[in-house]
């Protein structure tokens, strides 16, 4: 019988998630993960199988604790105009609130798309799944709001603007906020066109 882990799995995954979020998959070493989690390499391998297994657990945690709660305003009772504005304004607040030296700048999945997902099919599927989920949530809120015209195109435009803003948030928060401001103006103009 194998040894039981002597660490809190959630804390390890959260610490690893923040390190991957900051540095990306390729620039994060096992030694870095040992340092940030306080867990030795053999225990990490035993619990997660590999560095990639820990990364996959970190990405799943990110989807469950960061992405899906953000998307919930687009899908739940606030879906529609309120949800669209709350989503964009929430991203703006998140970008403004994160200090420049925080590992949580931008979006872990957008950062992944710019690195690992470019040459790794499994990572590409996760990033594409996120993008698909985002577009569907935006489209749903646009439909509930009664936005006119091609809702698929509008959802793609909004997702592109928010994804761009999350990439810019790593290097220039003011520019990220400007892009999110443009997304907000698109929402309000599309909904005003219907009145």
Is there a domain that residue 1 lies in?
no
Is there a domain that residue 64 lies in?
yes
Is there a domain that residue 2 lies in?
no
In this prediction the pTM is 0.89
Q: Could you give the number of structural domains in the chain?
A: 1
Is there a domain that residue 107 lies in?
yes
Distances in Å between the alpha carbon of 48 and those of 11, 51, 118, 169?
14, 7, 23, 30
* Domain that residue 154 falls in: 59-193
Is there a domain that residue 18 lies in?
no
Is there a domain that residue 54 lies in?
no
pLDDT for the residue 10: 94
Q: What is the mean pLDDT of each run of 10 residues along the chain (195 residues)?
A: 66 95 91 95 94 95 95 94 97 88 81 79 90 97 96 98 93 94 96 65
Is there a domain that residue 34 lies in?
no
Identify the DSSP state of 25. Answer: S
CATH code of the domain in which 97 resides: 1.10.357.10
């Amino acid at each position: 019988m194998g040894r039981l882990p002597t660490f809190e799995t959630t804390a390890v995954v959260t610490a690893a998630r923040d390190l991957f979020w900051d540095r990306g998959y390729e620039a994060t070493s096992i030694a870095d993960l040992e340092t940030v989690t306080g867990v030795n390499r053999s225990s990490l391998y035993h619990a997660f199988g590999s560095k990639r297994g820990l990364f996959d657990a970190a990405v799943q945690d990110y989807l469950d604790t960061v992405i899906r709660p953000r998307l919930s305003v687009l899908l739940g009772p606030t879906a529609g105009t309120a949800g669209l504005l709350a989503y964009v304004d929430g991203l703006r607040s998140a970008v403004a609130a994160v200090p420049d030296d925080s590992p949580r700048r931008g979006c872990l999945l957008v950062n992944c798309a710019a690195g690992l997902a470019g040459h790794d099919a499994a990572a590409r599927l996760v990033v594409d799944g996120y993008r698909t989920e985002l577009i569907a949530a935006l489209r749903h809120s646009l439909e509930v709001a009664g936005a006119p015209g091609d809702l698929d195109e509008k959802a793609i435009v909004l997702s592109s603007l928010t994804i761009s803003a999350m990439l810019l948030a790593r290097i220039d928060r003011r520019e990220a906020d400007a892009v999110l401001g443009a997304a907000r103006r698109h929402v309000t103009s599309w909904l005003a066109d219907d009145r």
